[in-house]
Amino acid sequence: MRRSIIAAITTVAATAAWTLSAGPALAYPPTPPSATTAATELASLTVKTEGSTSGYSRDLFPHWITQSGTCDTREVVLKRDGTGVTVNSSCQPTAGSWYSVYDATWVASSSSIDIDHIVPLAEAWKSGANAWTTARRQQFANDLSIAQLIAVSASSNRSKGDSDPASWKPTNTSVHCIYAREWIWVKYTYGLSLQSAEKTALQQMLGTC
């Protein structure tokens, strides 16, 4: 029983770490605006029929660019979001553990971690990024200043794929509030549109805040 209680406390604490950002802009990950602000931002977004993926390629969003020294964006997020992370001279993790908030799971190997784009690249393309310059798409794909990138289990990230909140939500329902706030923050920051069903799903998720 004691072991179960400790495990439950650990899970709650890890979830809180996602909710409460501390320190500089590169906290784990940057804390999104409040639910009230998110609702205001959501109301200002353009609702329209989603575009197609015609012409889309991940290569049009250059990502995992060098951020500093030998560290690229993926490695920066792995260090930022992990616990006890150590890296080699190439900035690749040699040890550490990661709490995947999407499925409330601890992961002990960086090879089992994906860096998720909260708003997927293909989703962005269909929402207006198809008209961006390559430089703008690169900024979007590597943005550490807002909550657009997060380390999660590979299985949860691949379950999400390119889905928006109308068709996919984290199985860990306790993070639906912050996930919606992050999604809205990204779309608002980049002036991306959204579908009617997507907006409804986000409103419902904000209702859990």
Q: What is the pLDDT of residues 36-94, one digit of tens each?
A: 999 999 999 999 999 999 999 999 999 999 999 999 999 999 999 999 999 999 999 99
Looking at the DSSP bridge assignments, the partners of residue 105 are: 100
Distances (CA, A) of 70 to 75, 88, 151, 167: 9, 10, 19, 37
| Chain segment 188-208, per-residue pLDDT in tens | 999 999 999 999 999 999 999
Distances (CA, A) of 105 to 12, 98, 108: 12, 8, 10
Q: Are 194 and 127 in contact (CB under 8 A)?
A: yes
Q: Are 83 and 99 in contact (CB under 8 A)?
A: yes
Other C-beta atoms lying within 10 Å of the C-beta of residue 201: 21
CA distance 150 to 29: 7
pLDDT at position 28 is 75
| Chain segment 106-158, per-residue pLDDT in tens | 999 999 999 999 999 999 999 999 999 999 999 999 999 999 999 999 999 99
Stretch 180-193: mean pLDDT, rounded?
98
CA distance 80 to 76: 6
Of all residues in the chain, the percent with pLDDT exceeding 70 is: 87
Judge if pTM exceeds 0.85. Answer: yes
